[in-house]
A = this chain, B = another copy of it.
Amino acid sequence: MAQRFPADEQSGGARPSVRSGVSRERASSVQAAAVDVITSRDNKWLKMFRAALRGTGPASGEPIGVEGPKLVVEGIRSGLEAEALLVTDASEGELERILQAASHSEAGIPRSRVLRTTEKLFASIAGTETPQGVAALFRQREWGFDDVLRGRANREGAFRGDASLIIVMAAVQDPGNAGTIVRSAEAFGATGVVATRGSADPWSPKALRASAGSALRLPLLRGSAIPILLAQLRTAGVKVIAASSRPAAAKTARGAQNKDPDLREPCAIFIGNESAGLPEEIERAADAWISIAINPDVESLNAGVAASVILFEAARQRRGI
């Protein structure tokens, strides 16, 4: 897309970079003011981007790293505050789209937070094999248990009378599965998602991509301790439902006394680890079990699929069809 801005290319030149690795240049593009072009691998912003885009998810207080124009726009549209936006020359066109999205959002992006770097340096910090030249660091949104209970609408001041529908990932390990579950959770009207300690982080780069941006919108708690979560759910009157992608195990555990639970009631559905299933403390604490009838030749469903099918079933029951 650089060819759309020939003036920019001419203005580039080979200016010496200052010691910090950032050279100030005045772009000839009409819209752009003074811009920072990062030319040193040791630049502190590049280091932050690299850590965020190649990590397994941000610690508390660290920014969420988001890569690719589509996800960055989703983040801005959802009202997240961008601490920094990093683009390459070739993504100039994308930048305009992003700033336009930002101008319609609450948070906005000050020009001073738009950083530029070379294709080569961008590739050195990107977490994908074919980097798209756009990345952002977003400030974490602080979701509370109440948000997960009542949904995003609650935070936005709207009243939504729906009963809680919470998906709890209990040591779901694959970030792709974690992201898929968050995407389906939002699609089927869940009020929130909880990732317990030991689960893949829904804000890790791979999970974010698999969530197609849902992880930037849906209320979610990360690193929750199971005993505390169970106590919170009890206090809030939310049923604990243990899901199994292995129907046989579920049937043994639940015996014959338990019919398929009513998913119209406020409930938290626990999805277990891909190979180990649910931890014992949840099997003991569960008010009900849910399993999906499958061909006995097949050992189990993919964890993301199992969660999605249960969410679909919950949405079907809640629509009353």
- The interface of chain A, by Cβ under 8 A from chain B, is 176, 180, 183-184, 186-189, 210, 212, 214, 217, 292-295, 297-302, 304-305, 308-309, 312-313, 315, 319
Contacts and interface: CB of A to CB of B under 8 A. Distances in A.
Given A180-B305, A302-B304, A295 B189 contact: yes
A298 B74 CA distance: 11
A180 B303 CA distance: 10
Given A176-B176, A309-B312, A188 B300 contact: no
Contacts of A298: 183, 186-187, 212, 214
A188 B295 contact: yes
A194 to B, nearest CB: 19
Contacts of A309: 308-309, 312
Contact of A301 (B184, B297, B299, B300): B184
A309 to B, nearest CB: 5
Nearest to A299: B212
Contacts of A304: 180, 302, 304-305
Given A309-B309, A315-B293, A302 B186 contact: no
Nearest to A296: B187
Interface centre among A176, A186, A187, A308 (most CB of B within 10 A): A187
Contacts of A188: 294-295
A183 B184 CA distance: 18
CB-based closest 3 A-B pairs: A187-B294, A187-B298, A305-B308
Nearest to A274: B212
B305 A293 contact: no
Nearest to A260: B321
